[in-house]
Amino acid sequence: MPRLFSLLILLVSVFIYSSIFHDVWESRKQVRTDIPAGYTIPSKFSRILSLGHQGILSDFLFLKVATFIGGKSGAGEILNEDDWQFVIQSLNVNTDLDPYFVDPYVLAEGVLAWDAGKPEEANQLLKKGMEYRTWDWRLPFFIGFNNFYFLKDYEEASSYIMRAAELSGSPAYLKTLGARLAYYGGKSKTALLFLEEMLAEASDPLLKKRLEVRLVALERAVLIEEALDKFKIQEGRAPKKISELVSTGYLIVLPPDPYGGKWGILKNGRVFSTSKLANAPQKKATKKEPTSQ
């Protein structure tokens, strides 16, 4: 009888929660951009509150963070600095509770390094993961990519890629990739190899969607870079403007950046986009003071 009563209370509680959750979420749509992301209970307290079920609490916290990011993305909103600090703190607690749980590390790579522009913070989480998931080649692979693409530290990038290559199950081409990083430098074609592998490993639908858009952007950057290289070889100089690649016939048309940015060429010959291959922050509309007549 006590068990039946407890089960009844649990079912009623779940029903009430489910009923009010939809209304609360709908109400939040009107003010979501103006409210703080929330508070994450520090790890030392989370462990106590988990009552020995740290894995379950870790799963719940990850779902909370992923839902928060997905909700913002689905509403067309851009996360602000407070939002990102909430994500970073949550992922840190998440991986403190269960350092073997791989999804938080993959999410950190997918959103912190790219969308938040925080590759160092992503690397810190990934290095934590390497201490526990010692067999997982993806973690040093991600760190290698961040050092290569965002931090421009090709020697460090090569070191981590070689570490990834030594682990069982890693792609055979990683040793070649690690050895050639210093030669290719900042070329988008090398970044494309990284991103293709990340997309193959991603399981979260939101993360896959983001990576697919970035893959298109990098493929177009590679197309421009190849045209740029041909121009330099045949013309004996670099183009004055990127539009010269079209006017001289090396490109039929300048492919659009899916993020809405404008392509350009750096002094070192690397192609870049003003979007930095991430969604641009939305500016809040400011209220204008009424002018006196």
Whether pLDDT at 87 is above 50 = yes
| Coil/strand/helix, residue 192 | helix
Q: How open is the CA angle 284-286-287, to the nearest 5 degrees?
A: 145
Band the pLDDT of 103: cuts 50, 70, 90. Answer: very high
If DSSP codes are grouped into helix, strand and coil, which group holds residue 225? helix
Query: Is pTM beyond 0.85 here?
Result: no
Instruction: Give the pLDDT of residue 8.
Output: 52
Q: Is the pLDDT of residue 121 over 70?
A: yes
Query: What does the pLDDT read at residue 48?
Result: 52
Confidence at residue 68, expressed as pLDDT on a 0 to 100 scale: 86
Least confident of 113-122, 162-171, 206-215, 256-265: 206-215
Q: CA torsion angle for 20, 21, 25, 28 (degrees, to 10)?
A: 60
Between 172 and 29, the more confident residue is 172
Question: Among 205-209, 240-244, 286-290, which range has the highest average pLDDT?
Answer: 240-244
32-68 tens-digit pLDDT: 344 345 556 555 555 555 555 576 767 778 888 888 8
Average pLDDT over residues 246-254: 94
Give which of 105, 180, 111 is closest to 148, Cα–Cα. 180
φ, ψ (nearest 5 deg) of residue 250: -75, -25
pLDDT at 139 over 90: yes
- How confident is the model at residue 28, as a pLDDT? 42
Could you read off the pLDDT of 145-174 as tens digits, one per residue?
899 888 988 878 888 988 998 899 888 777
Residue 199: predicted pLDDT: 80
Statement: residue 9 has pLDDT above 80: no
As given in the structure block, the two tokens for residue 88 are 């970073």
Asked if residue 289 has pLDDT above 60, the reply is no
How far, in Å, are 123, 127, 211 from residue 207 at the CA level? 18, 20, 6
Mean pLDDT score across all residues of the chain = 77
| Buried residues in 181-217 as b, exposed as e (16+ CB within 10 A) | beeeebbbebbbbbbebbeebbebebbeebbeebbbb
